[in-house]
């Protein structure tokens, strides 16, 4: 009888354990993922199955295209001039036969929240939130929730026409379950499901006409500390669902940031690095693939000029990481070869 009681107590303790995520469990610079779009048929996935100790079994889903996601220091990225308060840039790259398109989402991290400052798709498509909207608030655990307003400005160009929309509405974020997630890529324990509902309106006044678009979006994210805050699975009411798979980029950060400028980006045959004035000797430039493979190393010693030219003629089209470092510090930038 004592053994049965002990077993019951232990089992009850296991079932009641709830995962808790904080800011240290979130994205960090130089983290990369491969994201796989999935075939999604709403009637085959029960999104109402949630709560404590849930088991979400999605082993039968199948995959479509892939795209890559990388988190970098925002300095030097395409849209940083509009988001100078951000400390992390999420770059989503979609590769097609006609080239690579990149979208930059600018994030701000604190001990209390991970927030979205806005998105830079190109100079023709920019969203700036004011104030920023929180993706998560910490600690994040079962039944934690918050509601906040969504306010921002959307700049959108179509051909020769330019539109400026005002975005207004609200979002509610609730962690409505925890348990085990099963996908074709593996089984994950201690997973939280986060449901985000965004209801907002984009409106503008153009050439005497009022243009109004209403949105009601629901997004489900399954997250865990082992995937550094990136959703193990995302299902949304208005865009393709996908699974994120963490990649070992293999680039270690240093305690100090080495700031430098490079251009052009995207690049074709050459990439120019403007060396930092504080230290132009004993520098090393390294080019990595997005999966962490070292492509090239260039030693920069006793450089007379403050600018270095890197030849890219034998590097295939795609997205790469450039690291410039000395013995004490390093800086990492993302660039695209066309």
Q: Residue 12 has what pLDDT?
A: 35
**More confident call, 44 vs 222:** 222
| Structural domain contains residue 167 | yes
* Strand-pair partners of 186: 183
Cα–Cα dist 166/200, whole Å? 10
Average pLDDT estimate for 85-99: 80
**More confident call, 67 vs 270:** 270
Q: Which residue spans within 240-306 are E strands per DSSP?
A: 242-247, 256-257, 261-263, 270-274, 283-289, 294-300
Lowest mean pLDDT among 59-73, 89-103, 197-211: 89-103
Average pLDDT estimate for 129-143: 96
**More confident call, 266 vs 315:** 315
| Structural domain contains residue 5 | no
Q: Is residue 191 predicted with pLDDT exceeding 90?
A: yes
Average pLDDT estimate for 259-280: 78
Average pLDDT estimate for 93-107: 77
- Co-location of 127 and 197 in the same domain: yes
Q: What is the pLDDT of residues 307-316, one digit of tens each?
A: 888 999 888 8
User: Could you tell me which of 337, 331, 338 has the C-alpha nearest to residue 76?
Assistant: 331
* Sign of the Cα pseudo-torsion (134, 154, 102, 80, in order): negative
Q: Residue 227 has what pLDDT?
A: 79
- Co-location of 183 and 261 in the same domain: no
Name the band, by pLDDT with cuts 50, 70 and 90, for residue 230. Answer: confident
| Structural domain contains residue 168 | yes
Q: What is the pLDDT of residues 32-83, one digit of tens each?
A: 777 878 876 555 677 888 999 999 998 888 877 777 788 888 887 888 888 9
Average pLDDT estimate for 293-308: 77
Average pLDDT estimate for 1-20: 47
Q: Residue 107 has what pLDDT?
A: 96
Residue labelled with tokens 């004993």: 282
- Co-location of 236 and 260 in the same domain: no
Q: Residue 220 has what pLDDT?
A: 94
Residue 42 main-chain phi, psi, to 5 deg: -50, -35
Cα–Cα dist 267/274, whole Å? 15
Residue 258 main-chain phi, psi, to 5 deg: -95, 115
Structure-block tokens of residue 259: 């700031």
Lowest mean pLDDT among 16-30, 86-100, 130-144: 86-100
Cα–Cα dist 59/128, whole Å? 38
- Co-location of 206 and 151 in the same domain: yes
Average pLDDT estimate for 323-335: 77
Widest distance between CA atoms in the chain: 83
Q: Which domain holds residue 28?
A: 17-247
| Structural domain contains residue 283 | yes
Q: In what order do the strands lie in the sheet with 270-274?
A: 261-263, 270-274, 307-311
Name the band, by pLDDT with cuts 50, 70 and 90, for residue 288. Answer: confident
Q: What is the DSSP string of 68-116?
A: EEEEE-STTSTTGGG-TT-SEEEEEEEEETTEEEEEEEEEEE-SSEEEE
Mean pLDDT of the chain: 81
Q: Which of the residue ranges 166-175, 184-193, 202-211, 288-297 has the most confident prediction, judged by mean pLDDT?
A: 166-175
Domain boundary among 197, 219, 247: 247
3-state secondary structure of 11: helix
* Strand-pair partners of 154: 127, 165
Percent of the chain residues topping a pLDDT of 70: 83
Number of domains in the chain: 2
Name the band, by pLDDT with cuts 50, 70 and 90, for residue 303. Answer: low
- Co-location of 198 and 149 in the same domain: yes
| Structural domain contains residue 206 | yes
The answer to whether 254 and 327 have CB atoms below 8 angstroms apart is no
- Assign residue 305 the CATH number of its domain: 2.60.40.3080
Q: Residue 195 has what pLDDT?
A: 97
Q: Is residue 6 predicted with pLDDT exceeding 50?
A: no
Q: In what order do the strands lie in the sheet with 329-337?
A: 256-257, 329-337, 318-325, 283-289, 294-300
Cα–Cα dist 197/208, whole Å? 32
- Co-location of 175 and 314 in the same domain: no
**More confident call, 318 vs 211:** 211
Domain boundary among 186, 216, 247: 247
Strand pairing class (88-96; 54-57) = unpaired
* Strand-pair partners of 91: 70, 104
**More confident call, 216 vs 29:** 216
């Amino acid at each position: 009888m004592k053994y049965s009681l002990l077993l019951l107590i232990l089992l009850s303790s296991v079932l009641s354990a709830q995962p808790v995520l904080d800011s240290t469990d979130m994205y960090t610079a130089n983290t990369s993922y491969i994201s796989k779009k999935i075939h999604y048929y709403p009637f085959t996935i029960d999104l109402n199955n949630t709560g404590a100790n849930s088991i979400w079994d999605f082993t039968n889903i199948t995959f479509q295209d892939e795209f890559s996601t990388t988190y970098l220091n925002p300095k030097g990225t395409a849209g940083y001039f509009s988001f100078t308060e951000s400390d992390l840039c999420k770059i989503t790259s979609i590769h097609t036969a006609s080239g690579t398109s990149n979208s930059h989402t600018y994030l701000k991290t604190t001990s209390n929240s991970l927030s979205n400052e806005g998105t830079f798709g190109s100079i023709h498509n920019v969203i700036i939130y004011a104030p920023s909207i929180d993706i998560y608030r910490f600690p994040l655990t079962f039944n934690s929730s918050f509601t906040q307003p969504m306010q921002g400005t959307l700049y959108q160009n179509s051909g020769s026409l330019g539109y400026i929309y005002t975005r207004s509405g609200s979002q509610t974020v609730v962690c409505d379950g925890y348990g085990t997630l099963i996908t074709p890529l593996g089984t994950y324990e201690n997973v939280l499901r986060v449901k985000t509902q965004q209801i907002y309106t984009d409106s503008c006044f153009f050439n005497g006409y009022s243009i109004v678009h209403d949105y009601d979006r629901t997004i489900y994210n399954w997250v865990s500390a082992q995937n550094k805050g990136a959703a193990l699975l995302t299902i949304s009411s208005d865009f393709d669902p996908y699974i994120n798979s963490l990649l070992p980029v293999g680039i270690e950060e240093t305690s100090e940031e080495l700031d430098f400028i490079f251009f052009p980006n995207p690049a074709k045959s050459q990439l120019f690095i403007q060396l930092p004035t504080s230290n132009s000797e004993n520098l090393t430039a390294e080019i990595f693939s997005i999966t962490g493979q070292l492509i090239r190393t260039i030693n920069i010693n006793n450089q007379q000029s403050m600018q270095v030219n890197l030849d890219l003629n034998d590097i295939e089209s795609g997205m790469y990481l450039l690291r410039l470092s000395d013995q004490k510090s390093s800086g990492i930038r993302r660039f695209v070869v066309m």
